[in-house]
């Protein structure tokens, strides 16, 4: 009799083991997340800051128990800033690595190619850097979200700053692709509505430089000879650094015109230029480490500085914020199923270092503040800081849903 009892006990243990093994295995398996940024070439610094922000978020989340008890594993890929490369690495992340979500994208040109692909891949994409309005506008889809300030939000803030200046005749210098041209298009639209008395120079007195440009002297000369009263500069990354250095040598910043740089508040740029960045210029940024003293921002800023020896950039913040958004969505849905995460991301509100952010259900664009400020030196910081800082609330700079062109499917 005792022998039969022993055999039944062993059978029950074996059956339970077979039933529970997959569940236990799944619980211990990491949740893979793919990060796609420019990791090489003249814009690689942006990817490096994003990687650091992502790694810090992974470490914090895993130290606190992961996402629903499962650790997070980050997989990084280099888009090289090329659409075809980005598509290839994202397909690999989805089909070979089985990632739960893709985070990243630096370039509007890359985003405009990748975003239409996401419904086919049936995987959520959280854009953290690429700013083209198309992402949450005419290209919007169920699988794509953006957690950072969009081009139109940032340029609306630029127009509000410009409207307060005396400049009435404006021109632009920007990169010769979607981002540069759309920045100028939206700036004209918004500023004209605010200040009907302003005018904009014709196309032969604007300057759009190919992204591979390293010598900006011809573009700088063209703008100086046009004699505008205001110049909107939408160059970014290595292009902006080269432009500022060469423009300073040519006396551009001593001209009698207002200068606004839509992405001049990127710490990647400010660290690279140091005291070569002129003071008194209005610059925009999607996150500024000194913009508020909330517990979330102080912890993020201080921990990042302690870990990497630099203050965080908006690209570091974007990658960090996107992973926390994924965590919040999974916990809200109580699942890491991709469709469940998408439903949970829609309308999600969370507290981030930048402030309170809501992912608008209608177009998946983040409702978040836009930050601008004037460049200033401060002996306590190794880079130009922003002083004063202007915070434009999301409701002030975000276009109504009906104006975005988004028809969510």
pLDDT tens readout for residues 145-175:
999 999 999 999 999 999 999 999 999 999 9
- Kindly report, residue by residue over 232-285, the tens digit of the pLDDT: 999 999 999 999 999 999 999 999 999 999 999 999 999 999 999 999 999 999
What one-character-per-residue DSSP string does 152-210 give?
HHHHHHHHHHHTTSS--EEEEEEESSHHHHHHHHHHHHHHHHH-TT-EE--GGGSEEE-
- Whether 263 and 198 share a structural domain: yes
Residue 405: inside a domain: no
- Cα 313 from Cα 119, distance rounded (Å): 30
- Kindly report, residue by residue over 31-86, the tens digit of the pLDDT: 999 999 999 987 898 899 999 999 999 999 999 999 999 999 999 999 999 999 99
Instruction: State the total domains in the chain.
Output: 2
- Whether 390 and 362 share a structural domain: no
Query: What is the strand order of the sheet 31-37 is part of?
Result: 72-78, 31-37, 101-104, 125-127, 144-146
Residue 258: inside a domain: yes
Residue 141: inside a domain: yes
Q: 264 near 284, Cβ under 8 Å? A: yes
- Whether 82 and 186 share a structural domain: no
Residue 298: inside a domain: yes
- Whether 264 and 161 share a structural domain: yes
- Cα 287 from Cα 257, distance rounded (Å): 27
Q: 322 near 128, Cβ under 8 Å? A: yes
Residue 364 has pLDDT above 70, yes or no: yes
Helices 44-63 and 237-249: angle between axes, nearest 10 degrees: 130
Q: Among 118, 115, 121, 154, which Cα is nearest to 138's?
A: 115
Q: 152 near 400, Cβ under 8 Å? A: no
Residue 60 sits at the vertex; the CA angle it makes with 315 and 29, to the nearest 5 degrees, is 105
Share of the chain above pLDDT 90, in %: 90
- Whether 389 and 257 share a structural domain: yes
Confidence of residue 18 (pLDDT cuts 50, 70, 90): very low
pTM to 2 decimal places:
0.91
- Whether 36 and 82 share a structural domain: yes
Residue 251: inside a domain: yes
- Cα 194 from Cα 184, distance rounded (Å): 15
Structural domain for 223, as ranges? 152-285+371-397
Q: 384 near 375, Cβ under 8 Å? A: yes
pLDDT (average), residues 358-364: 98
- Cα 77 from Cα 104, distance rounded (Å): 10
Q: 180 near 239, Cβ under 8 Å? A: no
What the block records as the tokens of 392 is 């434009």
Confidence of residue 28 (pLDDT cuts 50, 70, 90): confident
Residue 14: inside a domain: no
- Kindly report, residue by residue over 83-113, the tens digit of the pLDDT: 999 999 999 999 999 999 999 999 888 999 9
Residue 168: inside a domain: yes
- Whether 280 and 382 share a structural domain: yes
- Whether 201 and 341 share a structural domain: no
pLDDT (average), residues 336-346: 97
At 107 the pLDDT is: 87
- Whether 254 and 329 share a structural domain: no
- Whether 181 and 319 share a structural domain: no
Q: 329 near 341, Cβ under 8 Å? A: yes
- Whether 100 and 138 share a structural domain: yes
Residue 183 has pLDDT above 80, yes or no: yes
- Whether 269 and 308 share a structural domain: no
CATH number of the domain at 238, please: 3.40.50.2300
Residue 256: inside a domain: yes
């Amino acid at each position: 009799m005792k022998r039969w009892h022993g055999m039944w006990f062993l059978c029950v243990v074996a059956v339970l083991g077979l039933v529970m093994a997959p569940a236990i295995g799944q619980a211990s398996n990491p949740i893979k997340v793919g990060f796609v940024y420019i990791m090489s070439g003249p814009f690689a610094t942006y990817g490096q800051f994003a990687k650091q922000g992502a790694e810090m978020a992974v470490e914090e989340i895993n130290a606190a128990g992961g996402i629903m008890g499962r650790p997070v594993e980050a997989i990084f890929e280099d888009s090289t800033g090329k659409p075809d490369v980005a598509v290839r690495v994202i397909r690999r992340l989805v089909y070979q690595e089985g990632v739960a979500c893709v985070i990243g994208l630096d370039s509007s040109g890359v985003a405009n190619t990748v975003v239409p692909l996401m419904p086919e891949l049936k995987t959520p994409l959280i854009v953290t850097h690429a700013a083209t309005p198309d992402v949450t506008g005419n290209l919007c889809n169920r699988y794509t979200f953006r957690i950072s300030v969009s081009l139109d939000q940032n340029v609306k803030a630029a127009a509000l700053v410009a409207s307060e200046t005396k400049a009435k005749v404006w021109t632009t210098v920007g990169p010769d692709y979607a981002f540069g041209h759309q920045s100028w298009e939206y700036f004209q639209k918004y500023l004209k509505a605010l200040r009907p008395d302003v005018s904009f120079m014709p196309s032969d007195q604007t300057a759009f430089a190919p992204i591979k440009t390293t010598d900006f002297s011809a573009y700088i000369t063209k703008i100086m000879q046009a004699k505008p009263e205001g110049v909107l500069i939408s160059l970014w990354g290595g292009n902006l650094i080269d432009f500022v250095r060469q423009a300073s040598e040519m006396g551009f910043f001593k001209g009698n015109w207002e200068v606004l740089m839509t992405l001049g508040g990127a710490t990647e740029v400010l660290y690279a230029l140091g005291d070569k960045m002129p003071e008194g210029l209005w610059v925009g940024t999607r996150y500024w480490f000194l913009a508020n003293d909330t517990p979330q921002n102080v912890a993020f800023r201080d921990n990042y500085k302690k870990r990497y020896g630099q203050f965080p950039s908006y690209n570091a913040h974007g990658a960090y914020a996107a992973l926390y958004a994924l965590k919040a969505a999974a916990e809200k849905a109580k699942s890491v199923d991709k469709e469940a995460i998408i439903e949970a991301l829609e309308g999600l509100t969370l507290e981030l270092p930048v402030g309170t952010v809501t992912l608008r259900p209608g177009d998946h664009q983040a409702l978040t503040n836009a930050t601008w400020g004037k460049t200033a030196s401060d002996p306590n910081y190794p880079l130009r800081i922003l002083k004063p800082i202007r915070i434009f609330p999301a409701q002030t700079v975000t276009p109504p849903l009906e104006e975005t062109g988004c028809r969510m499917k």
